[in-house]
Amino acid sequence: MLAGLVFFHLFRCMYKNTNTKVTPFGGIHLIHKRLVSDSTIQFIDNELGSRGNLAVYKYSDILLSRIYTAFCGGNSTEDVNYIKENTLKLLEKISIPSADTILRGDVELSTACEFIETQSANENKININTRLNTFLIRSAIKFKQLDPNDKNLVYDFDHQFIPAEKYDATYSYKNRKGYFPAVATIANIPVYIEGRNGNCNVKTAQLATHKRALSALGQQGVIPKVARMDSVVHKRSY
């Protein structure tokens, strides 16, 4: 997730190239031009590394293609195949992969879930992706959404329920199936995320999550002045 990118506003306009092709998503060219000028492509590849000498597409291709597809109205990975032909292939300095390649990239960047058994003998899944959380923090800093020199930063923490009907989604007290990730934000900018199953109790291993989040922030020179979270934390003996 590139925290800084989500704050660009995509507006629709008509774009016409020399071949008289027309797209309703011409605004994506303005966004891409700005990101290229800000060395975003190099930043992504430097942070996430190489996919290997034989890989045709870089992580910057995969990540930006997914983001641009969403900005152009796509709501599934497969939508890139249509938007690529009508819009994205006109962009310069980026190669647009197929949906299959994007999904392979997702797998490469993923980590296996950890299983935690609670005192009530329930098994919960927690997904800790240190690599992408570091990338998230460094992206927020690069795009000036987070200032490590600010001495009055407030660390906010909560769990955000995401309804879903996926095969591994579990039933939550929200009366729906989904996921329940733990999310830390600073000034409404996501800076740390850990995946959790939908029926995971918000109190489960929460102290360990805070330690990982604050350690990741500290490694990038970000030291919050205060922490703010819900009453569940207050009730526990931390």
Whether residues 90 and 181 fall in one domain: no
pLDDT at 231: 61
- Chain centroid to Cα 89, Å, comes to 24
Whether residues 118 and 85 fall in one domain: no
DSSP state of 188: T
**Which amino acid makes up residue 11?**
F
Whether residues 15 and 97 fall in one domain: yes
The C-alpha angle with vertex 221 and arms to 216 and 223, in degrees rounded to 5, equals 80
Whether residues 85 and 28 fall in one domain: yes
Whether residues 222 and 140 fall in one domain: yes
Question: Pick from 143, 111, 104, 107: which is nearest to 130 by CA?
Answer: 111
**What span, in angstroms and rounded, lies between the C-alpha atoms of 147 and 33?**
24
The parent domain of residue 205 ranges over 114-234
Greater pLDDT, 194 or 6:
194
Q: Is the pLDDT of residue 100 over 90?
A: yes
Q: Supply the pTM of this predicted model.
A: 0.84
Whether residues 118 and 174 fall in one domain: yes
DSSP state of 186: E
Per-residue DSSP letters for 76-114? STTHHHHHHHHTGGG-SS-----HHHHHHHHHHH--PPE
- Chain centroid to Cα 35, Å, comes to 17
User: What number is the average pLDDT over the span 16-37?
Assistant: 75
In this predicted model, what pLDDT tens digit does every residue of 169-218 receive, in sequence order?
888 888 899 999 999 999 999 999 999 998 888 888 889 999 999 999 99
Whether residues 225 and 119 fall in one domain: yes
Q: Which of 109, 125, 153 is the last residue of a domain?
A: 109
Lowest mean pLDDT among 14-23, 58-67, 174-183: 14-23
Q: Which of 53, 77, 109 is the last residue of a domain?
A: 109
Whether residues 130 and 50 fall in one domain: no
Task: Say if CB 146 and CB 140 are below 8 A apart.
Answer: yes
Whether residues 92 and 180 fall in one domain: no
Task: Spell out a b/e string for 22-54, using b for 16 or more CB atoms within 10 Å of the CB, else e.
Answer: ebebbbbbebbeebbeeebbebbbebbeebeee
**What span, in angstroms and rounded, lies between the C-alpha atoms of 144 and 69?**
24
Whether residues 99 and 176 fall in one domain: no
Task: Say if CB 209 and CB 191 are below 8 A apart.
Answer: no
Number of domains the chain contains: 2
Q: Which of 88, 109, 130 is the last residue of a domain?
A: 109
- Highest-pLDDT range among 13-17, 37-41, 117-121, 123-127: 37-41
Question: Pick from 16, 104, 96: which is nearest to 52 by CA?
Answer: 104
Mean pLDDT score of the chain = 86
Whether residues 50 and 154 fall in one domain: no
Question: Pick from 83, 63, 65: which is nearest to 73 by CA?
Answer: 83
pLDDT at 86: 81
